[in-house]
Amino acid sequence: MTALLSTNPVDLIAITESWLHKDIEDSLLHINGFNLFRKDRATRRGGGVCVFLRDEFPCTRRFDFENNDFECLWLFLRPKRLPRPLTGIAVSIVYHPPNLTAQEHKDLNEYLINTTDLIRNKHPDHGVVLLGDFNDFDIRNLASNR
């Protein structure tokens, strides 16, 4: 990964299906110049999400917007340069496994809509970015609510 980053400088790396678990220490994943944020799948193997963010970006992980039912983490970033009306960016990394039930699709949809609405109401000066692997999740309904 370090070699890849030296030839392709990036500020944020979002990984879905990280397969990380509590027995894998953060120190084993360390990349110089980056902070690691992770949300491991707690109930079974596989899944999970993580983010490597360049350490020069002020950032806060927002556990208050996370829900243990979903493989989703939220970060609030404050880059040095943003378009004038924005003072920050709320970034979410989501993993939606394939072949979930209609109810699980509905639950994720409601969670994402409610959470983005809450962020937009509490922080109207923040942009909101959703990243991830949505598999067979239909994002059109989510996008139509913006």
Give pLDDT tens digits for 28-46: 999 999 999 999 988 888 8
Residue 98: pLDDT over 80: yes
Contact 36, 66 (CB under 8 A): no
Q: Examine the pLDDT at 78 and tell me if it is beyond 70.
A: yes
Quick check: 1 pLDDT over 70?
no
| CATH annotation of 2-144 | 3.60.10.10
The pTM of this model reads 0.88
CA pair distance 41, 44, nearest whole angstrom: 7
Domain edges within the chain: 2-144
Q: How confident is the model over 129-146, as a mean pLDDT?
A: 78
d(CA 77, CA 53): 10
Contact 134, 127 (CB under 8 A): no
pLDDT digits (tens, 9 = 90+) for 122-131: 999 999 999 9
